[in-house]
Chains A and B, each alone.
Chain A
């Protein structure tokens, strides 16, 4: 499903991603952990091509992008549609209601008829528990509700892979659960392939097929949640886990 080889990203002299290799099978959930500045966000942004990698290849659903050569704008846009992105700060469109936020992509990008897009968006919002809030503007919603709109907005584009960048870290503790539940359902019921940056250990243990520890732009250690959390091999992983627990 996903096959990443030798992925590099640098900003000027700063090498942020330093050769990442990763294979993810259809329907698997990967949880990505690592210290601040280790490149987790940059990695997700490279998969969504909000940043264009400086070297390496990414294959998603049989489409391959090779970044050792310059890439065309058109192919960036089409490759991007394979992944859906959920942002730490939600980034909802403030001038559109929840429903309009979710309908926007299907109507503008996919040219789907308005009534059809509306039906689908309503169904998606109902699924994330916001069936009553479709006509609310983002400022009228709690952080947790906004983030669930963000998830529905990404899902409306029917991506093959969902990327989550610390989706609950900006939320008050009591609002985290609803968002994690939506993500759990997405993984368990829909079998969505997901890469999630999060430090929610419970979520990782319950949902992740694999946990990856990243440090200084490289994958340091990977394994099942149990292996990583109870029996990490690398000293750095241990040190990091001690720090966040």
Chain B
């Protein structure tokens, strides 16, 4: 087992050296020029599709998540059941299968939805389910005394929720929600499989023409990595802002 692995690694290294990219200036120039010309359509895909898709979906997903969390916590049985079933189905089935059902499946019922809208629906449902668990846990982690303090100064359930509980729950849920956000950004690459012209689909289209798979997919990976790194920075500054009322 260990020997075969070693053998394979040796093989890979040899292949890489034999490909001799670095000793062949002409091939090198060709790769650089492909990388440069493909960068523009990929960035265009990111700016026009990947980023808007991520942002729209995240906002819709969060709204859905708050509603789902509240339904889970409500005293009305039917709300609880609907929320539970929804979360269970979304978490228990692959995202890609969900996207296929919406985009390729629904037309059988006469419901045809554009790729972009299909992606928005699919990803929003997904974020809504995962984030609802985060928000529910955050609401539950707020001490009972906070509700009571709100009630004791005359607040209704809705007022206490909006003014007292959710702001505190928000602080607790920012770190896990930013992870959801970053996962979402990466997951939007799945939309390429339902024909959404986002970043990764652009890479696939170019590669299909010039066969430079390795180069283009690494380039796509680099772009995702840059976007995620920027997001992590933003996440950090939001956390600092929300932590201003907590002892350090």
Contacts and interface: CB of A to CB of B under 8 A. Distances in A.
Interface of A: 48, 50, 77, 80-81, 84-85, 87, 89, 91-96, 104-105, 108-110, 137-139, 153-154, 156-157
A48 B152 contact: yes
B164 interface: yes
A157 B159 CA distance: 15
Interface stretch (B141-149, B211-219, B226-234): B141-149
A81 B145 contact: no
Interface in B126-163: 143, 145-146, 148-156, 159, 163
Contact of A104 (B163, B245, B246): B163
- Classify the secondary structure of B's interface with A: helix
Contact of B149 (A77, A81, A91): A91
A156 B153 CA distance: 9
A92 B163 CA distance: 13
A92 to B, nearest CB: 7
A87 B153 contact: no
A196 to B, nearest CB: 16
Contact of B245 (A48, A50, A85, A94): A94
Given A87-B149, A105-B155, A109-B153, 14 more contacts: A77-B156, A80-B151, A84-B152, A84-B153, A91-B148, A91-B149, A92-B149, A95-B167, A95-B171, A104-B163, A108-B155, A137-B245, A139-B245, A154-B153
B153 A94 contact: no
B145 A50 contact: no
A84 B148 CA distance: 12
B160 to A, nearest CB: 9
A153 B145 CA distance: 15
Contacts of A91: 143, 145-146, 148-149
A16 B120 CA distance: 54
Nearest to B156: A77
A108 B156 CA distance: 10
B247 interface: yes
Q: Chain A interface secondary structure, helix, strand, loop or mixed?
A: loop
- Chain B, interface size: which category? 20 to 34
A65 to B, nearest CB: 16
Q: Which 4 A-B pairs give the minimum distances between C-beta atoms?
A: A105-B153, A91-B149, A91-B145, A85-B152
B178 interface: no
A77 B154 contact: yes
A93 B145 contact: no
18 contacts: A50-B148, A50-B151, A50-B152, A77-B154, A84-B152, A91-B143, A95-B167, A96-B245, A105-B153, A108-B155, A108-B159, A109-B154, A137-B244, A139-B246, A139-B247, A153-B149, A153-B153, A156-B153
A133 to B, nearest CB: 14
